[in-house]
Amino acid sequence: MENKNNEKRLKERHEIAEQYKWNIEAMYSDIASWEKDFQDCLEESQKYSRFANRLGSSAEILADAFETKDAIWQKLERVYVYARMKKDEDNRVSQYQALNDRCNSLIAKVSSAMSFFTPELLSIPEDRLFNFLEENERLSKYRFLIQDTLRLKAHVLTPEEENLLAQVGEVMSATNDIFSMLNNADMKFGEIKDADGDMVELTQGNYISFMESYDRSVRKNAFTAKYQAYMDLSNTIATIYNYNTKTDVVSARIRKYPSALEAALAGDNIPKSVYTNLIQAVHDGLPSMYRYMEIRKRLLDVKELHMYDIYAPLIKIDEKPISYEDAVEMMKEGLSLLGSEYIQRLSNGLAEGWVDVYENKGKTSGAYSFGSYDSFPYIMLNFSGKLKDVFTLVHEMGHSMHSSYTREAQPFVYGGHSIFTAEVASTVNESLLMKYLIEKEEKKLLVKEKTSAEYQEALTMKKYLLNMYIEEFRTTLFRQTMFAEFELLAHSAVEHGEVLTAEWLCSKYGELNRLYFGSEVICDKQISYEWARIPHFYRAFYVYKYATGYSAATAISDLIIQGAKKGSDENSARDAYKKFLTTGESNAPIELLKIAGVDMSSKEPVLNAMKVFSRLVDELDAITQS
CA–CA gap between residue 431 and residue 429 (Å, rounded):
5
Query: What's the farthest any 2 CA atoms get from each other in the chain?
Result: 82
For the question of residue 441 being annotated catalytic, the response is no
CA–CA gap between residue 332 and residue 334 (Å, rounded):
6
**Residue 513, amino acid:** N
Least Cα distance to 531 among 562, 565, 567, 500 occurs for 500
Least Cα distance to 37 among 28, 49, 25, 50 occurs for 28
- Kindly report each contact of residues 16-20 with a partner whose C-beta sits within 8 Å and lies 24 or more positions away, as own/partner: 16/357, 16/358, 16/360, 20/324, 20/355, 20/356, 20/357, 20/358
What is the secondary structure of 595-606 as a DSSP string?
HTT--TTSSHHH
Helical H segments across 200-285, by residue range:
207-211, 216-232, 234-254, 260-266, 272-284
Query: Both ends of the chain: CA-CA distance in Å?
Result: 44
- 201 forms beta bridges with 191
CA–CA gap between residue 576 and residue 416 (Å, rounded):
19
- 344 CB-side CA count, 13 A: 3
Q: Which of 77, 89, 162, 396 is catalytic?
A: 396
Residues 189, 229 contacting (CB under 8 angstroms): yes
State whether residue 128 is helix, strand or coil: helix
Q: Chain centroid to CA 331: how far?
A: 20
Residues 587, 406 contacting (CB under 8 angstroms): no
Close Cβ partners of 578 (under 8 Å, ≥ 6 residues apart): 338, 339, 342, 405
Residues 55, 117 contacting (CB under 8 angstroms): yes
What amino acid positions are annotated as catalytic residues? Answer: 396
